[in-house]
Chain A
Amino acid sequence: MDLTLTPEQQSFRDEVRAWLEANMPRDFAARVMASSDIPRPEAYDLLREWQKQLYRAGFIGLTWPKEYGGRGLTFVEEMILHAEMALAKAPPVLNILGVGMAGPTIIAYGTEEQKRRYPPKILSCEEIWCQGYSEPNAGSDLAALQTRAVRDGESYVINGQKVWTSLAHVADWMMLLARTDPDAPKHKGITYFLLDMHLPGVTVKPLRQITGDEEFNEVFFDNVRVHESHVLGGVNNGWAVGMTTLMYERLALGFGLQVRLRIALDGLIEMARRVEKGGARITKDPVMRQRIAQLWIDTECLKYTGARAITRLLKGEMPGPEASTGKMGWVDTHQRLQELATEIQGPYSQLMKGTQWAVEGGLWQYTFLRSRANSIEGGTTEIQKNIIGERVLGLPKG
């Protein structure tokens, strides 16, 4: 066990640190202090530019092979990068679903042509991706999905609907799960498509969320024709491919999430230092000190649990029980953090953006509301607990 960095890793860290020092968008840094995980619509342009900058500097897709736009480095460098991003309070990546999920899945399952075509444009943010999994009647029970893909010559004709599709309104591509064999058992008749969102028959209708933002959408498919070359990982093999995506989502996104958590926590502490309650600073209140310290500890636990999982991956071992706990742990910690942020603000927590009285321009009101989605998106906490209970602990299915 050795948590120190090798000279090579140290010089990589210095490289990242120096670059961030020179290139961080300063004015934005303050605004994202309270921001957590998901890009906000008003920041899309800025974030697209930020990701392009990261790409040009080679600070995105570190673990992806060089021939597909990455740098062929290990998860250690990825971890170093994210730790530095946290310290610098760097903005999030806009194409988060592409970088965290679509890219790694294409690299794992794609044909050589697919692997050369898509991943570089994901990293450069030239093409934004969304994830077409959930449907009105298939959420936690994802395999119940009903969107149909019917073969017609060299193409598939797609009909159906997806819902809760984040970024669909700006996306160029979708990771689409559709049913290609309605007669097969429900997990066996699904195919994973790389769907061009600009094709005729694709309609995106934004949904207004609890935050008031329109960040996720309904997506309708009306006789959308997709060429067979856009199948990923083989016809009727979509369940396995889709699950790989989710595994990456839970593992790889974990780095980023932990970073956003730390940034939010630092922001919360800075706020707590400024705010008074009952005539005394919040940071003097023994109960508040306890709760802030607990968040700090929980954030560190997530970091080191992640480090254990990475160590196993690096040694070529199977992920252990620790790898499955990250998402749940993050959700719980982040939701508590956001709730504490409102308590620190007291009555001010009622005020939204648009008045000078709003604390920090109302950013916390947004992140607080947004955090309710954390325990639903990417697999609900209840589903996560089923997975841990059944796959890790070996308990029987219900």
Chain B
Amino acid sequence: MDFGFSEEQELLRSTARKFFEKECTSEFVRKMMATPEGTTPEFWAKLAEQGWLGLIFPEVYGGAGLGFVDLVVLMEEMGRAVMPGPYFSTVLLGGLTILEAGSDAQKKRWLPKLSAGEARVTLAWTEPNARWDAQGVTVAATEAGGGFTLSGTKLFVPDAHIADALVVVARTAAGGNPQEGVSLFLVPKTAPGLEVTLLPTMDQTRKLCEVKLGRVAVPADALLGEKGKGWQPLTRVVERATVALCAEMCGGAQRVLDMTTEYAKIRVAFGKPIGAYQGVKHKAADMLVEVENAKSITYYAAWAVDESAPEAARAASMAKAYVSDASRRVSAAGIQLHGGIGFTWEHDLHLYFKRAKGSEFTFGDATYHRERVAQLINL
């Protein structure tokens, strides 16, 4: 039993930290918040150069062939830097779905390009009904002229406006078990009838879109995997993406704790650094407990999904339930302990607070995942 990181993983961590401290400064993040894209071609090319865009893709598809525990290390550092841009949507949503569900030809066509930073694919899954279960999938895919016609609306789709293609989750058959009849389609962004609108979001580092599909015609080979069998691979993707998101949230929470601790050492009130007062010190200790537990359960979940352990689904839900609450509470406590300065636009705390808030509701919040855990422990 070894519940720690290898030397290579520690090296990845320190490399990533140095990289983001230099390339993903607060100034850069704020600039990207104000642009629709959320990234620059130069920054994206640097991520590709580091090998991080293809980190988890097999080497035959141009990736680095690393595992989920390695990815967790990188995601923590990205969260620490509150990195903007379509990394998550490209690698963990679009890319991973192609890897899980696609044919060899589809993987060969897309994954090397994603790894090289030459293309981006996102996942259009959720809809205005904001459901995370199979019943939530109502966008219809009807067979027509040897292909399919897709109609309906997708919401909360990350980075669709800057993607080259979208994996659209649609329903090819209704009635019976809602998980049956869910299919995945690779749809080029330029397809006629596809309309993408960028939405104003609380967390400006994460761009979300509305995607309207007005009788979008796609050929039969747009199908990713088998017709009607898309829910299972999608579940595996979401399970993995959830764990990666938890790691990113841990990184953000750790950064908030670090900023807060440093501030509590230098900010003087009533003649003492505020960290000397137990009202502040104890709150900081509570933050540390939550951050450490959040990491522990996330690392466990990363190991479980990497090994495809039987308890992987439960582990991912445990992690998302715990980390959703922890990162929200830690980032809120960070603002509280900073006082007025923590409430300003100028201070970076709000970037972390808003990221935590957005992540809390991505792939289901703590309440949703606690219920899943309840089901998975046969309660």
Residue A384 is within 8 A (CB to CB) of chain B in the complex:
yes
Asked whether A312 lies within 8 Å of B374 as measured between CB atoms, the reply is no
Q: Which of B18-26, B93-101, B283-291, B343-351 contacts A (4 or more CB under 8 A)?
A: B283-291
Q: Which residues of B contact A290 (CB under 8 A)?
A: 367, 370-371, 374
Query: B264-289: which have CB < 8 Å to A?
Result: 264-265, 272-273, 275-278, 280-282, 284-286, 288-289
Contact with A along B285-312 (1 / 0, CB 8 A): 1101100111111011011000100000
Q: Once the chains are docked, how many angstroms separate the CA of A329 from the CA of B289?
A: 7
Q: Which of B2-10, B49-57, B114-122, B239-247 contacts A (4 or more CB under 8 A)?
A: B2-10
Asked whether B1 lies within 8 Å of A396 as measured between CB atoms, the reply is no
Asked whether B321 lies within 8 Å of A328 as measured between CB atoms, the reply is no
Residue A127 is within 8 A (CB to CB) of chain B in the complex:
no
Q: Once the chains are docked, how many angstroms separate the CA of A392 from the CA of B291?
A: 13
The residue of chain B having its C-beta at the shortest distance from the C-beta of A307 within the complex is B3
Majority secondary structure of chain A interface residues (helix, strand, loop or mixed): helix
The residue of chain B having its C-beta at the shortest distance from the C-beta of A286 within the complex is B371
Q: Which residues of B contact A389 (CB under 8 A)?
A: 275, 278, 281-282, 284-285
The residue of chain B having its C-beta at the shortest distance from the C-beta of A328 within the complex is B289
Contact A308/B288 with A286-B371, A289-B374, A297-B318 known, Cβ cut-off 8 Å: no
Asked whether B2 lies within 8 Å of A293 as measured between CB atoms, the reply is no
Q: When the two chains form the complex, which single residue of A292, A304, A388 contacts B296, counting CB atoms closer than 8 Å?
A: A304
Q: Which residues of B contact A7 (CB under 8 A)?
A: none
Asked whether A293 lies within 8 Å of B288 as measured between CB atoms, the reply is no
Asked whether A3 lies within 8 Å of B373 as measured between CB atoms, the reply is no
Contact A304/B3 with A321-B288, A322-B292 known, Cβ cut-off 8 Å: yes
Q: How far is the CB of B363 from chain A (nearest CB, A)?
A: 16
Residue B105 is within 8 A (CB to CB) of chain A in the complex:
no
Q: Once the chains are docked, how many angstroms separate the CA of A9 from the CA of B286?
A: 35
Residue A153 is within 8 A (CB to CB) of chain B in the complex:
no
Residue A325 is within 8 A (CB to CB) of chain B in the complex:
yes
Q: How far is the CB of A282 from chain B (nearest CB, A)?
A: 10
Q: Once the chains are docked, how many angstroms separate the CA of A393 from the CA of B261?
A: 7
Query: A384-398: which have CB < 8 Å to B?
Result: 384-386, 388-390, 392-398
The residue of chain A having its C-beta at the shortest distance from the C-beta of B291 within the complex is A321
Query: A250-300: which have CB < 8 Å to B?
Result: 269, 272, 283, 286, 289-290, 292-294, 296-298, 300
Query: A297-319: which have CB < 8 Å to B?
Result: 297-298, 300-302, 304-305, 307-308, 310-312, 314-315
Q: How far is the CB of B172 from chain A (nearest CB, A)?
A: 33
Q: Which residues of A contact B292 (CB under 8 A)?
A: 305, 321-322, 325
Q: How far is the CB of A306 from chain B (nearest CB, A)?
A: 8
Residue A79 is within 8 A (CB to CB) of chain B in the complex:
yes
Residue A1 is within 8 A (CB to CB) of chain B in the complex:
yes
Q: Which residues of A contact B273 (CB under 8 A)?
A: 395-396
Residue B34 is within 8 A (CB to CB) of chain A in the complex:
no
Contact A305/B285 with A289-B371, A311-B3, A396-B265 known, Cβ cut-off 8 Å: no
Asked whether B370 lies within 8 Å of A325 as measured between CB atoms, the reply is no
The residue of chain B having its C-beta at the shortest distance from the C-beta of A381 within the complex is B282
Q: Which residues of B contact A112 (CB under 8 A)?
A: none
Q: Which residues of B contact A393 (CB under 8 A)?
A: 257, 261, 275, 281, 284-285, 288
Q: Once the chains are docked, how many angstroms separate the CA of A95 from the CA of B379?
A: 35
Contact A293/B4 with A394-B261, A395-B276 known, Cβ cut-off 8 Å: no
The residue of chain B having its C-beta at the shortest distance from the C-beta of A302 within the complex is B293
- Sample of 22 A–B contacts (CB below 8 Å): A1-B5, A1-B302, A4-B1, A5-B1, A289-B371, A290-B370, A290-B371, A294-B370, A298-B322, A304-B297, A307-B3, A308-B4, A321-B292, A322-B295, A382-B278, A384-B285, A385-B282, A388-B289, A389-B281, A395-B273, A396-B273, A396-B275
Given contact pairs A307-B1, A385-B281, A390-B281, a sample of 7 additional A-B residue pairs in the complex whose CB atoms are under 8 Å apart: A286-B371, A290-B367, A297-B370, A301-B318, A307-B296, A312-B4, A398-B281
User: Nearest 7 A-B pairs (CB), nearest first?
Assistant: A395-B275, A389-B281, A304-B296, A388-B285, A385-B285, A301-B293, A293-B370
